[in-house]
Amino acid sequence: MIYGVSSDAPAILHDLRELGMGAEIMASSGWDSQRLLDLPPKLTEGVIVGGYLTFGHEGRDEELGPSWTEFAQSFQARFGRDPDVLAALSYSNMMCLAEAYARADFQTRGLTEALEQTKGFNTLLETRITYSDESRDGFKFLHLAEIREGKPMEWRRNLFARDYRFRVPSKQIKVGEYQGKIYESEPGITVWLLLHFAFGRPPFLRELSPIDEYGFKACFAGALFKGQVRVPVFKLVFRSEKEAIEALNFEARESEGMGQGEGERVDPVNYRNADSGVYTDGTFWSGYKRIENVVVLIEGGIPQDDLRMILEAEI
What is the DSSP annotation of 215-229? -EEEEEEEEEEETTE
Give the relative orientation of helices 85-103 and 68-79 as an angle to the nearest 10 degrees: 110
Mean pLDDT, the chain, rounded, equals 80
> What per-residue confidence (pLDDT) applies to 158?
57
pLDDT score at 20:
86
Sheet strands side by side (includes 121-122): 121-122, 128-131, 138-139
Model confidence over 218-238: pLDDT tens digits?
899 888 998 878 898 999 999
Instruction: For residue 40, give every residue at least 6 positions away whose Cβ sits within 8 Å of its Cβ, in sequence order, or none.
Output: 150
Rounded CA-CA distance 77/7 in Å is 25
Indicate the range of 4-13, 186-195, 293-302 predicted with least confidence.
186-195
Q: One-letter amino acid identity for 37?
A: L
Backbone angles phi, psi at 19, to 5 degrees: -75, -15
Question: Does the pLDDT value for residue 283 go beyond 70?
Answer: yes
Produce one character per residue of 254-283: b if its CB has 16 or more CB atoms within 10 Å, e if not. eeeebeeeeeeeeeeebbbeeebbbbeeee
Band of the pLDDT at 260, cuts 50, 70, 90? Answer: very low
